[in-house]
């Protein structure tokens, strides 16, 4: 598992000996993560299980019997446990969406509905082995990453991005291969973008087998492995001590090989319940429920865009919010892709959800998307907005969010009888009043 980097502030009130003990304690998470066992944490200096007293008591500083709870963050993630990994699609679906429940017990982490969870993934071990083989190495060669020595295999699996080749690596291959075609690619941004679509570092290595590197010089050209952010699909009040995610697994064929999303398949395929899962909370203060619980809300979230709205609905029910709730959800097929169907129908039955409109893009002769439902129910949508509703959109930024925005303008022109300019001004006012909020990616 990944090396979890501790963070102890320089101004923390501890002596040098106490600081060394605490750093050893935090480093134990890394030892436990790499070994994958459930052994006790890294033993503190002295072996008696207690922090060194140092001169803390003499100076009046507190000397805790146990170290204080650490502050978990992106640079110091919490080693959580994945408790539930459940498919949401029925058999026959073209998609693989998972409902994940992650145990935060003991972390001290808190979140609000609408926030995101950061996950630090690992690269696929099979892909790492293929890359090592293509490079002609063993995998146990020592390399240094951020000042820490580790085997090459561990660095490639847990510390480095080995999907799309970075510019530094492409430049190195162009220089060492003397390939005019590659040099030409690097001179044109759009041509390079088109070439890299669906390609990874292994593709580059296989394309130029005669180009050789030393392991350290190769890893120095790679970018650090980045965390991924997922919209939280739970409510802290309805699901205390845990956090839920709704993750679509990315898998596709390109250039003769199966490609996998780094984090989505890490969570779906390779993260076992006993493995530490490094996570942190990423607040999203621009995508929160209205403070006034009487305010109506309209939620538009096709596919995995439903994630924060599941959390919203659980939160509204847990807080006894009286504002009306309207969800517009869509996907490919009603029979296989109706995510959280039982829960949504339960929200309808108990009155938490006042309205549910669905759009299935592959169930009829014509493709129906969520933006079509907006236009279809233009009068109702406009009335809700006039009553002060907050409009939320979550999902794909490139197409869905753009199409929903266009449909909103159409609704204002038709149902609201506004000119194009007045409709644009209305949307601007919604945004300024924080009544048109988007969580798009």
Within 10 angstroms of residue 188's Cβ, the number of other Cβ atoms is 11
CATH number at residue 235: 2.40.30.10
Within 10 angstroms of residue 107's Cβ, the number of other Cβ atoms is 20
**78 shares a domain with 111:** yes
Q: Please report the pLDDT score of residue 59 as a whole number.
A: 43
The CA distance from 251 to 232, in Å, is 22
The CA distance from 47 to 79, in Å, is 24
Q: Please report the pLDDT score of residue 106 as a whole number.
A: 93
**280 shares a domain with 346:** no
The CA distance from 76 to 321, in Å, is 36
Contact criterion met (CB below 8 Å) for 73 and 33: no
DSSP class per residue in 184-221: HHHH-HHHHHHHHTT--HHHHHHH-TT----HHHHHTT
Find the angle CA(290)-CA(107)-CA(101) to the nearest 5 degrees.
65
Domain count, the chain: 4
Q: Please report the pLDDT score of residue 22 as a whole number.
A: 45
Give one word for 146, left, alpha or beta, with left for phi > 0 and alpha for psi -120 to 50: left
The CA distance from 250 to 262, in Å, is 8
Find the angle CA(225)-CA(228)-CA(232) to the nearest 5 degrees.
160
Instruction: Specify if 292 maps to a domain.
Output: no
Which whole number is the average pLDDT over 301-313?
A: 98
**136 shares a domain with 113:** no
Instruction: Specify if 291 maps to a domain.
Output: no
The CA distance from 58 to 353, in Å, is 61
Rounded to a whole number, what is the distance in angstroms from the first to the last CA of the chain?
27
Instruction: Specify if 290 maps to a domain.
Output: no
**309 shares a domain with 189:** no
Domain boundary among 285, 307, 323: 285
Residue at token pair 């507190």:
62
pLDDT band per the 50, 70, 90 thresholds, residue 253: very high
Identify the domain containing residue 410 by its residue range: 297-440
pLDDT in tens, 391-411: 999 999 989 999 999 999 999
Q: Please report the pLDDT score of residue 71 as a whole number.
A: 86
**268 shares a domain with 170:** no
**130 shares a domain with 160:** yes
The CA radius of gyration of the chain, in Å to the nearest whole number, is 26
pLDDT band per the 50, 70, 90 thresholds, residue 182: very high
More confident site: 49 or 292: 292
**429 shares a domain with 317:** yes
**238 shares a domain with 329:** no
pLDDT in tens, 205-245: 999 999 999 999 999 999 999 999 999 999 999 999 999 99
Which whole number is the average pLDDT over 364-390?
A: 97
Domain boundary among 27, 45, 65: 65
């Amino acid at each position: 598992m990944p090396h979890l980097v501790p963070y102890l502030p320089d101004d923390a009130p501890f002596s040098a000996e106490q600081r060394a003990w605490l750093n050893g304690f935090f480093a134990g998470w890394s030892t436990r993560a790499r070994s994958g066992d459930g052994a006790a944490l890294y033993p503190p200096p002295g072996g008696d299980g207690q922090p060194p007293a140092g001169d803390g008591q003499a100076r009046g500083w507190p000397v805790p019997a146990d170290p204080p709870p650490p502050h978990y963050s992106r640079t110091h993630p919490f080693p959580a446990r994945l408790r539930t990994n459940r498919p949401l699609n029925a058999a026959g679906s073209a998609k693989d969406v998972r409902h994940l429940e992650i145990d935060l017990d003991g972390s001290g982490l808190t979140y609000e509905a609408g926030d995101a969870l950061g996950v630090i993934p690992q690269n696929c071990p099979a892909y790492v082995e293929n890359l090592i083989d293509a490079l002609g190495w063993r995998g146990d060669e020592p390399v240094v990453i951020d000042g820490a020595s580790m085997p090459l295999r561990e660095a490639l699996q847990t510390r480095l991005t080995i999907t799309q080749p970075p510019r530094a690596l492409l430049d190195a291959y162009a220089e060492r291969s003397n390939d005019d075609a590659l040099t030409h690619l690097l001179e044109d941004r759009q041509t390079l973008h088109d070439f890299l679509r669906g390609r990874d570092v292994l593709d580059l290595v296989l394309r130029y087998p005669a180009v050789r590197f030393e392991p350290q010089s190769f890893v120095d050209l790679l970018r650090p492995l980045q965390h991924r952010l997922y919209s939280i699909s739970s409510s802290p009040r309805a699901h205390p001590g845990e956090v839920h995610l709704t993750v679509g697994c990315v898998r596709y064929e390109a250039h003769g090989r199966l490609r996998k999303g780094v984090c989505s398949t890490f969570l779906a395929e390779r993260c076992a319940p006993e493995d530490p899962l490094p996570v942190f909370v990423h607040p999203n203060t621009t995508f929160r429920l209205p403070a006034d619980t009487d305010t109506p809300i309209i939620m538009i979230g096709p596919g995995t865009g439903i994630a924060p709205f599941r959390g919203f609905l659980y939160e509204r029910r847990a807080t006894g919010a009286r504002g009306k709730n309207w969800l517009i959800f869509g996907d490919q097929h009603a029979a296989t892709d109706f995510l959280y169907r039982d829960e949504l129908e339960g929200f309808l039955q108990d009155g938490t959800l006042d309205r549910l409109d669905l759009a299935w893009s592959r169930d009829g002769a014509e493709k129906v998307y969520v933006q079509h439902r907006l236009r279809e129910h233009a009068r109702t949508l406009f009335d809700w907005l006039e009553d002060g509703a907050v409009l939320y959109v979550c999902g794909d930024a490139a197409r869905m969010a753009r199409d929903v925005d266009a449909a909103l303008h159409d609704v204002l022109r038709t149902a609201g009888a506004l000119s194009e300019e007045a409709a644009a001004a209305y949307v601007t006012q919604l945004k300024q009043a924080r009544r048109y909020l988007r969580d798009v990616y």
